[in-house]
Amino acid sequence: MNAYLQYGLYLVILVALAIPLGRYISRAMGGETVFLSPLLRPLERCFYRALHISPEEDMGWKKYAACALLFNLFGFVVLFLILMLQGVLPWNPQGFGGLSWHLAFNTAVSFVTNTNWQTYSGEVALSNLSQAMGLTVQNFVSAACGIAVLFAVIRGLMRVKSKGIGSFWTDLVRAVVYVMLPLCLVVSIALVGLGVPQSLGGSRTVDLLEPFAVDAGGSRIVGAEIDLEHNTVTLDGAVVADAQIITKQALPLYPQASQVAPKQAGTNGGGILGTNSAHPFENPSPLTNLIEMILLLLIPVALCFSFGFSIKDKRQGIAVFLAMFILLVGFLGVAASQEHAATPQLAQNGAVDVIAGDGMPGGNMEGKETRFGIATSSTWAAFTTAASNGSVNSMHDSYTPLGGMVPMLLMMLGEVVFGGVGCGLYGMIGFILLTVFIAGLMVGRTPEYLGKKIEPREMRMAVLLCLATPIAILVGSGAAALLPSTADALNNAGAHGLSEILYNYASAGGNNGSAFAGMGCDTPFLNTSLGLAMLFVRFVPMVAALVIGGSMAAKKRVAAGAGTLSTCNAMFVFLLILIVLIVGALSFFPALSLGPIAEFTQMAGLG
């Protein structure tokens, strides 16, 4: 019962906060006065003056797309150079050298595309300059870029016989100034107050309370007796040769809270610490865990309501929200049930007590923080992969086969179960157009959405929006699976090894960034192929969405008739969910059958 209450509480808090935030974002992005306007409008004007931006400019879709692509190209080049040259740049108290070309390429692409995939652990690879001036900046602007494009598409849906869909630069500034900055400032201050470090001095070395011993290979010697006075290590009464006693530890102290807030709020993921929010520095308590977990989906959920407010029809926004919410709850239910039930192997011969009881969490606790338990870990896994976030507070590689398939499948759907800030919703608009078109064929009517006819040009772009993710994931993982070097990078063979490959390319192809962590990816091929998948899935759908926005803006509005398909009733929500599952889930069924489903049947003794 306690677990059910936790799941319900998380979902209720999320929706309760998202509704007012959605109204605020709609008004702020529309240039209306909001309660923060007296404070933020002077800052907005400073950006316009400094960058020579005309807030009244009205761009066509081609110029809007060109500005967005050039802005991201500039960000990639700057970040790539910072990562390559960090060894000779200032603010590097750790003395880290520059990254290899392929790792710098992968990382720069990752943060520019709002993916934040990390082949490295930030605390042992990147300087303060790279973290604060490189990655944190992209956490803000990559999220703002997604919001900007979404509102350009919304204007396209609303305008009639217009050539323009707004100004990219104006939208970008407003998304940063009115949405990302105030939210992240409040959250950063709260996190610092709750114990998340915000330091500029680099790591600190401290004495361990309990020294331990390692062998010559660096592995911990379990059960060893340590004599600090004589510097000897004994095991079962025998002295262990070449053993080393570890008495100190380096604590990774970075400007961390200021990166955690935008990485969570902007559905970026990644971060300074390799273990993300499973680390007590990034996520020290259940309260910080609640704040960070709600942030994962707060803006994507709010944007559904912003959509309804912006098009002057709240029912449309609620319909999109319900379709996404029902999918989220369904997938969360599957993951939670699998993790609470654990696997037959854990319960075999009473090896592990998988039944929850007093002081016993039960279920599958492998790879999960005892501070958080199964309910919070499963919720985080579903939230972070429903959004294009990718940060974790548990290790997905240790989930049960079907429990691990849920976050994988959420990414494979194209991040449309709320998805990334902005990009998730304009991706879902592609599925909406596809649903309207299919329903129109069934009743013999020209498909319409929001009073405008859906014609071949919009359908081609909608199909591109829907199929970009499956193409990137299946082509990328298929090519990787053919290479012997990929098998060498796996920690597991068989079905679970294939799941690791699928998960990593689903993460890159879904602009997510999380990993099964059982596969080493720091090779030229894997870094480059994963980076190309991120670029393809970020920018091809972005341009396709802007084409739809520009095309719809030029259309006239037609009056609704008796046969017009309602796009805000329960039937349409059902059809939309069905199309998402058919196009998204069934595209990957053969691959999933060889990976997590095969592993499940093997564990259950069915295969």
pLDDT in tens, 483-492: 888 888 887 7
pTM of the model: 0.94
> Token pair for residue 157?
């849906």
Reported as a pLDDT band with limits 50, 70 and 90, residue 346 is low
- Angle at CA of residue 366, ends 365 and 370, nearest 5°: 50
Q: Which two tokens stand for residue 571?
A: 């039937």
What is the per-residue pLDDT for 288?
96
Classified as helix, coil or strand, 253 is coil
pLDDT digits (tens, 9 = 90+) for 514-523: 988 767 788 8
Residue 139: CB atoms within 10 Å? 29
Percentage, residues of the chain above pLDDT 90: 69
The CA-based angle 9-11-17, given to 5 degrees, is 100
- In this predicted model, what pLDDT tens digit does every residue of 181-212 receive, in sequence order? 999 999 999 999 999 999 877 778 899 988 99
Tell me whether strands 238-239 and 244-251 are parallel, antiparallel or unpaired: unpaired
> Does position 607 have pLDDT exceeding 70, yes or no?
no
Q: Is residue 273 classed as helix, strand or coil in its secondary structure? A: coil
